[in-house]
Amino acid sequence: MRTRRTGGLVRIHSPLQDEAEAFLWAFQLSNREHWSHVIFKDDAKACFDSLSSTKLTVDLSIHATLSNILSLAECFVDCSFIWARRICNSVAHAAAKFA
């Protein structure tokens, strides 16, 4: 769990919530840059599974964030998600840990 102080309030975030918010930020950035064809690749399996399938139940802590992502996904001509095992995504994982 990670804590974040926002205007006097302390918010506690799970790694899953942080991953979902990182995806939302990437979607917002892609939309702001007017990219039309995007591929999102990451090792956040729970987020990818929730975004890729309507049959899975979504963790309530990320439901709103994933809904926002799916709404933004409609802005792109082509939008796809690729899940990569963490071992195959080691450079990005190391950069995220460093940040």
The 10s digit of each residue's pLDDT in 16-68 is: 888 889 889 999 999 999 999 998 888 788 887 777 766 656 778 888 898 89
Three-state DSSP class for 77? coil
Q: Is residue 7 part of a domain?
A: no
Q: Which residue has the higher pLDDT, 71 or 99?
A: 71
pLDDT at residue 8 tops 80: no
Q: Is residue 2 part of a domain?
A: no
Count of domains observed in the chain? 1
- Dump pLDDT digits (tens) for 76-95: 999 888 887 766 666 666 66
Q: Is residue 69 part of a domain?
A: yes
Contact 33, 23 (CB under 8 A): no
CATH assignment of the domain containing 55:
3.30.420.10
Among 64, 41, 37, CA closest to 52: 41
pLDDT on residue 40: 86
Q: Which residue has the higher pLDDT, 60 or 10?
A: 60
